[in-house]
Amino acid sequence: MPYIYNIIKADYLQRTRSYSFLITLAVTVYAAYSFVPPSSAAYTTLSASGYKGVYNSAWVGYVSAIMTTVMLSFYGFLLVNSGIKKDIDTEVGLIIATTPISNFKYLLCKQLSNYLVLLTIAGCTFVVSFILFFIRGAGYPFILSNFVLPYLFFAVPALFMIASLAVVAEVFLGKRNILQYIICFFLCGATMSFITKSGDNSSGVFDPFGLSLITKSITRQINSQFHEHVKDVSFGFIFNGHRKYKPFVWEGISWSAVFIFSRVLWMGFGLALTYFSSLFFHRFDFKQAAGKKKIKVIQQPEADKLTINPAGITRQTMPPLVFNYGIFPFIKTELLLLIRQGNKWLWLLNSGLWIAMFIVPLPIAYTYMLPILLFLQVTRWSDLVTKEKTNRVHYFAYASYKPLLRMLPAQIFAGILLALALALPVLLRNAAGLNGYAIINIVNGSVFIVLLAATLGILSGGKKLFEVVFFMLTYAIVNKVPVADYLGGLTHGNTITYIFIIAGINIGLACAGFLTRSYQVKHL
């Protein structure tokens, strides 16, 4: 067993010492600080048809715990779903394959290291919830159990399941990252939607997140205290201006033995998923799968066979050398790499959304469908400037002729061209409506997302940081958070000021990316 501990420790330290994890942790702490907004804020994170609990220890602790569970269930998957892939890329897996460790024990190590990374982030938000109570609290007593128990029974089991799903996704879907994201987001979103809209079952046994338990408890108290018929509780960042909410005192949940035991069952189900995936784990033996493919051998007649020239290869028989120091061949190559990356089936989904944006009402296409369509290209954007380092050819790329004036601008221009092509339906419809501000905003936003991918990829040297940040932006836009609206689909006070703000951010991102890449080229 000591080698299992060493694998978990090494994997955990390797992940937590990366720049992407540290920046993600900082963003998460900031988000946790906003889980319990001040009374003067124009948004709320938990609303029950105009009612909101007072900021006692129960409300602060439970809201912080449930928001942490929901957010980490989504973007936490992006953060931890590359443990096996990293062993493949670094060829550490070839060493592990020769050791006596079984497939289940290896995958269990990956699952537990995933879990520890997510628990580290949850632990930081747990500490922030303490601070929030003393900042936002309205004179109510501090009760420790109202902070510990929600995290223990909501976040701990749910994150265990997410860590297991990350392992299962890597085993069965391999390098199909975007398919992993789609399936995970669909499962989590569909489960949460079904739970919040289900019947009167308030036991929460079939709820891995604990949403149904807190929802039924809040609605039951509101209905009994104010004689209402409230059925739904909304989670997330809900912007309703400076709306006045009716306050009520909520004292938390009465935990039942059935619900607590169900948490153990859900964690056991996560272990069962890890064991099931171990039965199909490739154990880094890719030649076996390649050997199953039949190779067709084309028999050529004797007269058609090439004759070997004993004199060797002469310069006269080779095509002449043609030099082209322009940037356009680079742009064409990078654009083809972006288009051909990933599975072809994904372009069917992209095409369906692209065509639908011509048909659906423009506000829906602009505010919802366009951000989602751009997010579906997350693996293309994240690989834009990191593929050279991933494939270990950055030594040649950085030593090429003027890499800062040819290669990097070509990658950025190719990414912008693809983004504008995907946004073409919304651009044409706004052009038909003579909405010039919307066109400028979409172009500005397309440049922003490509520059964000390039700059974060250059700074972190990997793809995870951008993938997590891009998901947070898309999630915030779908929930109509104005500060995250990089496409300008929401209403802003001063449109001209907003355009200049996004343009200024783009200039800052471009400067940071080029300066960092210049340093990397000179200190290779």
Q: What would the 3-class secondary structure string for 360-428 be?
A: CCHHHHHHHHHHHHHHCCHHHHHCCCCHHHHCCCHHHHHCCCCCCCCHHHHHHHHHHHHHHHHCHHHHH
Strands 51-53 and 246-248: parallel
Q: Is 456 helix (H, G, I), strand (E, B) or coil?
A: helix
Phi, psi of 46 (to 5 degrees): -150, 120
Task: Return the DSSP state at 300.
Answer: -
Strands 51-53 and 43-47: unpaired
Residue pLDDT tens, the chain, 524 long: 667 888 888 888 888 887 778 877 888 888 888 888 887 777 777 777 778 888 888 888 988 998 888 888 888 888 888 888 888 878 888 888 888 888 899 999 999 999 999 999 999 999 998 888 888 777 788 889 999 999 999 999 999 999 999 899 888 887 777 788 888 888 877 777 776 665 555 567 788 888 888 888 888 888 888 888 877 777 777 776 556 778 888 888 888 888 889 899 999 999 999 999 989 888 887 665 444 444 455 555 554 444 555 555 666 777 777 777 778 888 998 899 888 887 777 888 889 999 999 999 998 999 999 999 999 888 888 888 888 887 778 888 888 888 888 889 999 999 999 999 999 999 999 999 888 899 999 999 999 999 999 999 998 888 888 888 888 888 888 878 788 889 988 877 788 888 999 999 999 999 999 999 998 888 77
Q: Measuring CA to CA, which residue among 8, 191, 30 is closest to residue 115?
A: 8
Q: Is 433 helix (H, G, I), strand (E, B) or coil?
A: coil
What global pTM score does this model have? 0.77
CB 226 within 8 Å of CB 53? no
Strands 234-239 and 43-47: antiparallel
Query: How far, CA to CA in Å, does 216 sit from each of 50, 199, 263?
Result: 16, 10, 18
Q: Is 442 helix (H, G, I), strand (E, B) or coil?
A: helix
* Residue 490 to residue 209: CA distance in whole angstroms: 31
CB 184 within 8 Å of CB 165? yes
C-alpha 413: how far from chain center = 24
